[in-house]
Amino acid sequence: MHRLLVLSALILSLCPSLLTAQSASYLSDPKFQKEVAAAAEPRQFASERLGHWKKANKIAGGTCVDCLRQIIELEYRSGDTKAEMASCEDLQRVATNPADKAFGSMMRGSALFHANRDRPKPEQLEQAEAAFRETLALSPGTRIARYMEGRTLALLHRDEDARTIFTDYVKAAPAGDRYRLRAQHFAESPALARAKMAPPFTVTTADGKQFTLDDMGGRVVLVDFWATWCGPCNVELPHMQKIAQEFAGQPFVLISVSWDKDAAKWQEFLDKHGMRWAQYRDVDHQLSEAYGVDAIPHYFTIDSDGVLQSEMIGSGSDIEGKLRKLVARAQEARPPAVGKTEGQ
């Protein structure tokens, strides 16, 4: 899930337009053009799109840089790290542009970092760290490579090196950078970078307020993916209302993320059912993709350190039991307010 956010950040930092002009004969080949056009068709599975890009690259003799970039992105999204690493090596071999080479090294580092279902071996982490350093040498402005280098060093238990990297990241990143707050937390406690962190996000909620996950430090967060037209979600609505009421005034935040396309109907539903907690409409599904959500209702519990604790799909989950434990732990970790007791 977190990988998609890294990918979007990388594409923004290394973004030469795809299918740029090249002095290659295959560009005028009707078979190549047919496969590229087929890959651009919107109504198809990612595996079909991947197949068309692979055929196009084969027609190009394996030298189509833009094809390889598309192939790598699709393999990244599918989680096929072995295929992704091989494609990255192919790209680095044929690319002449530093930005393309940096894209290949960055994506290879990411594939190594996420190898073995996010359980990379020490030697893979060493290779990943080298790949991120190579990316920075080719493209010094690729901040996400610096962030991933810090996380890799933390996993290697090189905490002081990781602290330095995260500190440098915080100094270089603008205030609105998605990973800035998280890097700041990791600089303070590099061991936290070894935990399975929930993907960071910042959204504007229905009441016009900004909700930033990494600003929720010290509070437990429940992320609820739903939609007004979803039958099981409506069955679960009283449950969400009860949770919002039960944990009010405690170190807890509930945010509901809707798949609704019709803003007016969504807002009418919120008003009708008194859903006054944080509400966000995920129109482009970017947040849902970041969390790997393809079915609703879908819930994620995140502890007061931002660590992803549990994922639940469908109705009947013991959400409250999990929340009580996490909230109790958050309350214990809270410094007592001077002159006040809890609840005042």
Q: Which two tokens stand for residue 37?
A: 């056009």
**One domain for residues 151 and 250:** no
**Weakly modelled stretches of the chain, pLDDT under 50:** 11-12, 16-22, 337-344
The Cα 256–Cα 221 span in angstroms is: 11
| Residue pLDDT, tens place only, 177-210 | 888 888 998 999 999 999 888 888 999 999 999 9
**One domain for residues 162 and 24:** yes
The Cα 84–Cα 204 span in angstroms is: 34
**One domain for residues 116 and 174:** yes
Q: Which residues pair with 224 in a beta bridge?
A: 256, 299
Q: Edge-to-edge strands of the sheet including 220-226?
A: 278-281, 252-258, 220-226, 298-302, 308-313
In a domain, 339, yes or no: no
Domain boundary among 172, 194, 216: 194
| Residue pLDDT, tens place only, 281-294 | 999 999 998 898 99
**One domain for residues 319 and 211:** yes
**One domain for residues 216 and 274:** yes
- Give the Å distances, CA to CA, from 114 to 3, 276, 310: 8, 38, 19
- Full domain range(s) for residue 6: 2-194
**One domain for residues 175 and 220:** no
292 Cβ neighbours under 8 A, 6+ residues apart: 1
In a domain, 256, yes or no: yes
**One domain for residues 309 and 226:** yes
**Cα torsion angle, 134, 123, 150, 77, sign:** positive
* HEC assignment per residue over the chain: CHHHHHHHHHHHHCCCCCCCCCCCHHHHCHHHHHHHHHHCCCCCCHHHHHHHHHHHHHHCCCCCHHHHHHHHHHHHHHCCHHHHHHHHHHHHHHCCCHHHHHHHHHHHHHHHHCHHHHCCCHHHHHHHHHHHHHHHHHCCCCHHHHHHHHHHHHHCCCHHHHHHHHHHHHHHCCCCCCCHHHHHHHHHCHHHHHCCECCCCEEECCCCCEEEHHHCCCCEEEEEEECCCCHHHHHHHHHHHHHHHHCCCCCEEEEEEECCCCHHHHHHHHHHCCCCCEEEECCCCHHHHHCCCCCCCEEEEECCCCEEEEEEECCCCCHHHHHHHHHHHHHHHCCCCCCCCCCC
**Cα torsion angle, 322, 326, 331, 332, sign:** positive
Give the pLDDT score at 11.
Answer: 47
**One domain for residues 147 and 216:** no
The Cα 149–Cα 131 span in angstroms is: 9
In a domain, 105, yes or no: yes
**One domain for residues 274 and 189:** no
Give the pLDDT score at 323.
Answer: 94
In a domain, 342, yes or no: no
The Cα 195–Cα 241 span in angstroms is: 30
Domain boundary among 194, 224, 241: 194
Give the pLDDT score at 6.
Answer: 57
**One domain for residues 8 and 120:** yes
Domain boundary among 154, 169, 194: 194
The Cα 226–Cα 297 span in angstroms is: 5
Task: List the Cα angle 242/248/254 in 5-degree steps.
Answer: 70
In a domain, 232, yes or no: yes
Give the pLDDT score at 8.
Answer: 52
CATH at residue 154: 1.25.40.10
The percentage of the chain sitting over the pLDDT mark of 70, rounded to a whole number, equals 90
**One domain for residues 139 and 212:** no
In a domain, 341, yes or no: no
**One domain for residues 185 and 216:** no
| Residue pLDDT, tens place only, 87-98 | 999 999 999 999
CATH at residue 220: 3.40.30.10
In a domain, 95, yes or no: yes
Give the pLDDT score at 85.
Answer: 95
Q: How many domains does the chain have?
A: 2
